[in-house]
Amino acid sequence: MPDVLVLVDHDGERVHKSTYELLAAARRLGDPAAVVVGAPGTAARLKESLARQGATSVYAAESAEAGEFLVTPAVDALELAVREAPPAAVLVSATTDGREVAARLAARLDSGLLIDAVDLDSSGVVTQIVFGGSYTVRSQVTHGVPVITVRPGAFEPEEHPGEVAERALTLPATDPAASARITARRAAPAGDRPGLTEAAVVVSGGRGVGAADGFKVVEELADALGGAVGASRAAVDAGYYPHQFQVGQTGKSVSPQLYIALGISGAIQHLAGMQTSKTIVAVNKDPEAPILDLADYGVVGDLFAVAPQLTQEVAARRAVG
């Protein structure tokens, strides 16, 4: 079977869950081949976990300067892998960086590009949610090697252990004049909650939360469920919660097993970022809120009355089970 290239998203020590989802998607088209871009030794640290999740080969695209530039080294690595042995497709996670990598790669290869896929079949036909979530379409690349970005959470990781071959790619020197160099790094505040795009449960708050202090009820419910906290653009713009937690068309796209929306009316921009969630629960005191039409379960009521009761019930059931 032909290879399907998967760009590995990692922090140097750990492979992110979105990559395991890509490997599961890649198996529908061929043999998953993971492309690791990083400092020397990175691929060796990640190879075992990639093999456990089904990678049949690992391309090690390593250099001392790979982590000093944005996007360009990843594009270079994928282009080299494609030129070496044309794959059935290239899969990249639909993150901010991933979309840019995919677009640049497609331009270099003169290939078709499909973004934000939520499903993929064995013939290469991709399902997408487009125009802010208004339409579901099925598309297929008809020119060149398909380059596809996949929405985090769209596929379930599947352990598929086997032997893995390692191949080396020699990255070219990056032209500083044509690439964005990273001049400084600042660690984001870390907590015990899972990452927003990797969480199985996401609890989001909107304008209805009323104030930054009001997000305490959102956080308490998320912690009771072992989930991540999200926010609507209205809540972020109002200063209730940090921007990096925004869910929606101009924020992060999520597709968890359970999405709980507290005080979110359901503007189409927000729905575009979460409507592929497996189960959606909405709490809103406005019975005409658009999100109630999308929700699997809707509660018309005050979130400050409903959410604490739900948190208490979840905590009680966990205590006995």
Confidence of residue 320 (pLDDT cuts 50, 70, 90): confident
Q: Are 278 and 132 part of one and the same domain?
A: no
What mean pLDDT comes out for the span 161-188? 85
Annotated binding site: 207, 232-233, 246-250, 263-270, 284
Read off the pLDDT of residues 215-232 as tens digits, 9 standing for 90 and up. Answer: 999 999 999 999 999 999
The answer for residues whose C-beta is within 8 angstroms of residue 180's C-beta and 6 or more apart is: 69, 70, 71, 72
pLDDT at 311: 97
Q: Which amino acid is at 257?
A: Q
* Domain end position, chosen among 169, 191, 218: 169
Give the pair of three-digit tokens for residue 8.
Answer: 């590995």
**Whole-number average pLDDT of the chain:** 93
What mean pLDDT comes out for the span 81-96? 94
Confidence of residue 179 (pLDDT cuts 50, 70, 90): confident
Annotated binding site for FAD: 207, 232-233, 246-250, 263-270, 284
Domain count, the chain: 2
CATH of the domain at 245: 3.40.50.1220
Give the integer Cα–Cα distance in Å for 264 and 270: 9
pLDDT at 131: 79
Q: Are 15 and 123 part of one and the same domain?
A: yes
Confidence of residue 283 (pLDDT cuts 50, 70, 90): very high
Confidence of residue 239 (pLDDT cuts 50, 70, 90): very high
Read off the pLDDT of residues 41-81 as tens digits, 9 standing for 90 and up. Answer: 999 999 999 999 999 999 999 998 888 888 999 999 999 99
The dihedral of CA 283, 285, 287, 288: what is its sign?
Answer: negative
Instruction: Provide the residue range defining the domain that includes 237.
Output: 201-320
| Top-confidence residue, 249 or 290 | 290
pLDDT at 125 over 70: yes
Q: Are 159 and 50 part of one and the same domain?
A: yes
pLDDT at 176: 80
Predicted TM-score (pTM) of this structure: 0.85
Q: Are 210 and 105 part of one and the same domain?
A: no
> Lowest-confidence range among 155-159, 192-196, 219-223, 314-318?
192-196
User: Cα separations (Å) of 12 from 24, 113, 151, 164, 306?
Assistant: 21, 28, 22, 19, 41
Give the pair of three-digit tokens for residue 230.
Answer: 């999200």
Q: Are 11 and 74 part of one and the same domain?
A: yes
- Coil vs helix vs strand at 120: strand
